[in-house]
Each structure stands twice: as structure tokens, then as C-alpha cells.
Chains A and B, each alone.
Chain A
Amino acid sequence: MWVNRCGRNALRTYSSFARMRSIRTQAYKLSVASMSHPVLKIHAAPTVPERVRFLTTEKDGKNEENSKTEETNSEKNENKKEEESVNTVKVKILDNALDFVVDHGWSRKALSCGAEQAGYAGVAEGMFTGGGDDLVLYFIQKCNFQLVEYLKFTIEEHEAKEEKIKVTSFIRSAVEYRLRMIIPFIGAWPQAMGILARPDIFPKSAEELAKMVDDIWYYAGDRSADINWYTKRGILAKLYGSTQLVMLTDQSPDFKDTWEFLDRRISDISNFAKISQSVKDNGSAFVETAFSGAKVLKNIAGFGDTKR
């Protein structure tokens, strides 16, 4: 029965990882909840989200002297303030650059035009070491932030009406809302998908996708601490990716075909969930029958132990 034991141990390891992940996710959610969400309030007070921190790639020469001296608290504060002011300017330029993506694509040219529109010299786009890649990553981060605001708003609405959230319709509306944000840029979206799939950018884009599906499931009420944590997010990521691809080639009015495709995929998933649930409920007998069949075969072959 070592096969049985190995399988059970593997499942236990996965479950413990899932439990750790869910605890970490919940802690992250608490920190996100306490943070101001500047993207929607950017006209009021432009503070920069923590997630945009990767944009500040400041490469210095060798810091031999700096490493020897200890940075005092005041120096660290000054560095932080400088970083924040640089980030504020970068976010302003990126927001303005999105207006030029349709004409110039996700490129340094769009960043340069955005900088000019924001009131800075065109050469300020040199601050972005990745050029157009930084613009794409900023855009998907911005969309994900707006999605979280929408999910919170939906939950508050349901609580106000004292309705229970239906998971499938919640997820469907979340995916539709998120995909609709791409519509203004749909002409340049294939280029963006190509950039996000590149090996040097892929880790960051995969992280953003993972955070997005995690956000959707968390606000849908998922608190699973076993292998379902992974399967649910994996299924949603695949659903989102396939719907996005369908949307790129959809010519119907208001992308009607895309939303019908989304509805069909969600009903497929919920049917599969029902079947798998019934298998689980009735499955223990099936599993025992299967294993006893295997034991019989072992005895016939001569490898079985003498115990019954």
C-alpha cells in the first residue's frame, strides 16, 4: 500500500502549502484593505501604489563608499521621499502615455508624447528603462486595482440588499468588467500580449495574473485551504486567458459573442464541479473497490503479503 501512502503524503504536502498560501493571502488582503487605492483617486491625491515600485530601477555605479557608511534614518527618509516624488512623476507620464497607445503602440514614442502632454520634456521617457514594457505592466496593474475597487463595490451592494453572493455570476461579472477595460486598446492589445509573453517580462505578468485571479476568488468568498485553492485559481486564469483571446478576434456589436463564450465556459465549469462533487461523495466506495482490485492482482502476481 505504499502507493496509497505516497499519494496521501503528496496530497497532505499540497494541502499544507495551500493552507500557508491562504494565510499569506489573507494577510496580504488586510494590508491591501488598509492601503489607499490611489488609481481611482489619482485626480485627488496622486500617491503611488506599492505595486508600481518595480518601475524605479535606479542603477548606480559601484556603491563601495555607500556600503561602508551606515545610512541614518533621516537619509533613508530623504531617499524614500525622493523615490516617491520620482514615482509620482512617472505615474503622471504613464497615465498620459496611455492616450497615445492607439496611435503609437506600447512604445517609447507613446511615453514621449505622454511626457509632453503631462508638461515634461519628451526626453523624460528615458526614466523608464523598459520603455513600452513598463507602460504595459503599469496598465495591467492599474486595471487590476480598478477591478478590486469594483469587486468591493459589488459586495457592498449585495450586503446593502442583504443578498447572498452567487459565486458563478460574481466571477462572470468580474471577468467581463476586467476584459472591458481592454476594449479602448484592443487594436494594440496583440502587441501587449506579445510583450507580456516575452521571457524577461513573463514572470512579472504571471505574478499580476496570479494576483488578479486570487483577488477575484477572495472577494467571491473562497477561503479554501487545500488543493482547491490552486485548482480554482488555475481554472479562472485559463478562463480569463481563453476569453481574452476570443475577444481579440470578435467583430460582433459590443463583443456579444465574447460574453456568450464566457457564459458557456462558466456553465461547463460549474457542471464539471457538480460532477466532481458527486464523484467525491460516492467516490470512496469506488476508490476502495479500485484498490482492492489492485491488491488481488498483486497476490496473483506473487508480490502480495500473506495478510488478508
Chain B
Amino acid sequence: MAMGMANNLRFVSRLKALRCFEPLTILKRNAGTQTTNPEITHFGFKNVTVKEKPKKVNEVFDRVAGNYDLMNDVMSAGIHRLWKDRLITVLNPCDKTKLLDCAGGTGDISFRFIKRVKLQHDCPEPNVTVCDINPNMLEVGRRRAETQNLHLKWVCCSADDLCFPDASFNAYTIAFGIRNCTHIDKVLKEAHRVLEPGGRFLCLEFSEVENPYLRNLYNTYSFQVIPVMGEVISGDWKSYQYLAESIRKFPSRSQFSQMMRDAGFQSVSCESLLFGVCSIHSGFKL
């Protein structure tokens, strides 16, 4: 009983220490801090060294891997499934499409791709490779694939240093993963390298809500509801705080489109989903 009381006190003290009770002006102030030092990058609203960030991101995903799919469903009320369905619809794969699902740990995008290609094109073995920096996420994905009897390749490597030869895929997707990468420009250049001419790069990522009233509502939900859900369901507050903060630190739609063009992608376009909560960025290697 004493332990139960201690846990409750810890929970309450965490609630009190919560940054999300601060007014949203402080959110804006923290979200805007940038540094010109190339050795320093952001991890949520904190500044960390470039060498530390991959380790910290790995720790976050080690913690969330177990309940990743459940938490996705709870946080977005199942809407993330529609976003991922839309991503595959936009891709419109055919039987000759070779997909690299980057940061695709638990395999949501890959499974949808396989089901669609099998259904529409009668292809028995769609060519899909899933790569992720975190082996625990890949393990969760492997177990899910076994239960559904799907055959994919699972590779553990970093998105900014892919271990595949040039022009080995014709579709590259990265869903809700690119904001966790340390060097987004390197990830884009690697994506450009491994794609064939005519290959498509698709990035599904959270973005800024356009409408200011909805944006306030979304900020309140992100900082006051999601970490509480994380604590209650997974006992992990910090990871979901990091999730909300990392969304705010990601470049805007036009900045990211320009980064894609700088990496060599052409015919770059952007589609907003759910009033701007999510965006699908698309580019082609020509």
C-alpha cells in the first residue's frame, strides 16, 4: 500500500511539474529556439549534440515499441489508419513496384502495400523491404507479419546511411519517421540515391494546422492529453512529450518541399490531411 501511495505521489508530482500547464506562449517561445551551431540539434524542445540524438531517439522507440500500435490507435482515435490508407492510394502501386518502407518498424505501410498489390494486380510476392534504425520495432513488425503470413525483408539500418545499392527501389515511403532523423537533408539525399529514375518519394508526416482556432485546440490536445494517455497506458510520459515537441520542431510544408527540391526531387507536391494535422509530401526522381 505504501508503494501504491508512492506511485500516486510520483504521478501527481509529475502532473504538477508538467510543462503543458504553462500557457501556450511559452510553447511558442520554446518551439522557436534555433541554434546555428552545427554540432547542436534539437530533441523535442531541448538542445542536444548531434551524436547524442540517435541514441536518445533509439531509447524512446525502445520504450514505445511494445505498445506502439495501440498508442497510435488511442492517440488518433484510429484516424492514422485512414492516413496510411491515403498514402498507399496516392502511391498507386503496380505489380512491378519495389517499395522501401523506411522507418517502417511495425510494418503498417508495408502490409497495406502488399494487400493492395495482391488484390489489384494478382501479384503473389510483392517486393517490399522494411528498414528501421530500432531493432525492437522491427521485431514487433516481424511478429505481426508472421501472424498474417506475409513475406517481407527486414533490415536494420539508419535512414541517413542506407545499406542498399543505387537505384534499387522505385518507391520510397517514410511515415511519421523523418522528424526523428538527425540530418533530414542526408535522409533525402539517400532516398534520392536508392530510387530508380521515375521513382517516387512519399513522406507522411505531422505538420502545422492551418486554422488558428483548430491549432490551439490541437496544441492543447497534444500537450495536455497525449502525455497523460502515454502515462496511463504505457507508464511513459517523456516519450509522448517528445512526440508532441518533435512535431513542433519539424520544418514547415514549404521549407520541407524546398529541402526535397534541394536533394534533387522534382514535381514536388504536398497534400494536407485533416485540416493540416498531417501532410503527404511527394517528389519524383527524374
Contact = CB atoms under 8 A, between A and B. Distances in A.
Interface string B90-113: 111110110000000000000000
B286 A86 contact: yes
Contacts of A127: 267, 284
Interface in A100-155: 108-109, 112, 115-116, 119-127, 129
Interface residues of A, number: 29
A162 interface: no
A160 to B, nearest CB: 44
Interface string B233-259: 000000000000000000011111100
Contact of B252 (A58, A62, A116, A119): A62
B: interface residue count bin: 35 or more
Nearest to B254: A61
Given A121-B170, A123-B94, A61 B199 contact: no
Contact of A61 (B92, B196, B197, B253): B253
B198 interface: yes
B282 interface: yes
Interface string B245-286: 000000011111100010000111111100000010010101
Contacts of B96: 116, 121-122
Nearest to A126: B200
A281 interface: no
Contact of B198 (A60, A62, A109, A124): A124
Q: Which residue of A86, A89, A122, A125 has the most chain B CB atoms within 10 A of its CB atom?
A: A122
Interface stretch (A63-71, A171-179, A247-255): A63-71
B200 A121 contact: yes
Interface string B166-205: 0000110000000000000000000000011111100000
Given A62-B210, A122-B170, A115 B254 contact: no
Contacts of B255: 65
A129 B284 CA distance: 13
A299 interface: no
Nearest to B167: A121
B286 A85 contact: yes
6 contacts: A59-B271, A60-B257, A60-B269, A121-B171, A124-B284, A127-B267
Nearest to A93: B198
Interface of A: 56, 58-66, 82, 85-86, 89, 108-109, 112, 115-116, 119-127, 129
B168 to A, nearest CB: 12
Nearest to B195: A121
Given A123-B94, A123-B170, 19 more contacts: A60-B257, A61-B254, A64-B252, A82-B261, A85-B266, A112-B94, A119-B197, A121-B170, A121-B196, A121-B198, A122-B94, A122-B96, A123-B91, A123-B92, A124-B198, A124-B284, A124-B286, A126-B91, A126-B282
Contact of B200 (A82, A86, A123): A123
A112 B267 CA distance: 17
Contact of A60 (B266, B270, B286): B270
